[in-house]
Structure formats: structure tokens, C-alpha cells
Amino acid sequence: MQESLLTPSIAGQLIQAREKKKLSQSDLADQLRLPLSVIKNIETDYYQPEHMNVFVKGYIRSYAKQVGVPSKDVEAFFLTLGVSSKQVLPTEAKFNFDISARQKKSIRFSTAAIITILVVLVVIWIAWQHESSMPSRFSVNQSPAMMSLPSAQVASHTALNPSRASDVSKPETPPVTSQTQ
């Protein structure tokens, strides 16, 4: 087991452990799936403790784990820098689910209004569908001339000529009269 060396910089420990495992910087970068520049920056202490964010700390932890440096050494290094390694858990959110009688009444009214609107819309839609499936107000048998007449004239025309009422589109044929010669 590797002996813990607490220093203000952990870079020396990381380099020694990497060289002991006979890894180059680029090999380690490939294994950690990090850019080579990140590995070089860690090994040269090219970061400022006050700007050490969660990513840099994560990179250092991953580097140390890969080369076998104990995590307690890494955490001690973070503590010497004054960087808290302790995770700060968010406070539990508390919700007030108590609903007053006025709010309940408002919710009931809103729900009833929405349901009523939906029912009215469905009835309108059904009526529209029913109307569109009905034949038009003009009969299929009416001639184009009859269609251009106002409905009052069509009614009077069919009333005066009942033979045309049943089939308006039939062409007129001359009446058959018997001719004797």
C-alpha cells in the first residue's frame, strides 16, 4: 500500500504514481477520456484554488483513482487548499398542501366550467357532423334552373305543377295524342 504524503500540492504524488504504473500523460488522458491539456494542467498545478470547481476536483479524483493514489490524500489536499470536499445537499423543499375552503370552491367551479365547455363543444361537433352528413337542401333531381330560383318560387312552381314535383329533372316530352288519318 502506498504511503500517504501530505503536501500542499498533490501533483508530485500523481506524477510518481503515474510513472510507477508506466503510463504516459497521453495514455492516462485516453484512459480517463480527458484532453491531454487537463492532465498537464493537473501535473503542473495550473489551477487556482479559489477557481477550483467541481469539474477540476472530479478530474483530480479520477486521475488519483486511475493511478492508485489514496482518496484520503486527495481529500486532505482539498482541505489544505480550503476547498470543501463535502457535498452540500440541498435543503428539503417543503410545500404547503393545505387548501382553504375558498380555494377548494374556486377549483370546483373551474373544473365544472371546463367540463361544461367540453360538453358544449362535443355537442356542437356532433351537430356539425350530423348536418354535414345530411343531403343539401336542394334535391338531386332538381334542374340547374330550379336551383337558381329562390326557395319560395321553387315551392310555388312544384305546387302549381305537381307532375314536376316528383322529378323535376325529366325533360319535357310532348303529350302523346292519337292522330287518325
Residues 108 and 55 in one domain: no
Do 30 and 69 belong to one domain? yes
Same domain, 36 and 72: yes
Q: Are residues 71 and 105 in the same domain?
A: no
Q: How confident is the model at residue 90 (pLDDT cuts 50, 70, 90)?
A: low
- Same domain? For 110 and 66 the reply is no
Q: Are residues 76 and 104 in the same domain?
A: no
Residues 54 and 115 grouped into a single domain = no
Q: What is the pLDDT of residues 139-167, one digit of tens each?
A: 555 555 555 555 555 555 555 555 555 54
The pLDDT tens digits for 19-68 are 999 999 999 999 999 999 889 988 887 776 666 677 888 888 899 999 99
Same domain, 61 and 109: no
Which CATH number fits the domain that encloses residue 55? 1.10.260
* 31 domain-assigned: yes
Any domain includes 42: yes
Task: Judge whether 16 lies within some domain.
Answer: yes
Under a CB-based contact definition with an 8 Å cutoff, are residues 41 and 60 in contact? no
**Residue 63, domain member (yes or no):** yes
pLDDT score, position 149: 53
CA 128 – CA 101 distance, rounded (Å):
41
Number of domains in the chain: 2
Stronger pLDDT, 157 or 75, i.e. the higher one: 75
Domain, as residue range, for 27 = 11-81
170 in any annotated domain: no
Domain finish residue from 35, 53, 81: 81
Contacts of 43 (CB under 8 A, 6+ apart): 11, 14, 15, 25
In a domain, residue 55? The reply is yes
In a domain, 3, yes or no: no
Please indicate, yes or no, whether residues 23 and 77 belong to a single structural domain of this protein.
yes
Q: Is there a domain that residue 51 lies in?
A: yes
115 shares its domain with 67: no
Contacts 24+ apart (CB under 8 A), 136-145: 139/168, 141/167, 141/168, 141/169, 142/168, 142/169, 143/168, 143/169
The answer to which of 7-21, 83-97, 118-132, 158-172 has the lowest mean pLDDT is 158-172
The pLDDT value recorded for residue 8 is: 56
pTM: 0.42
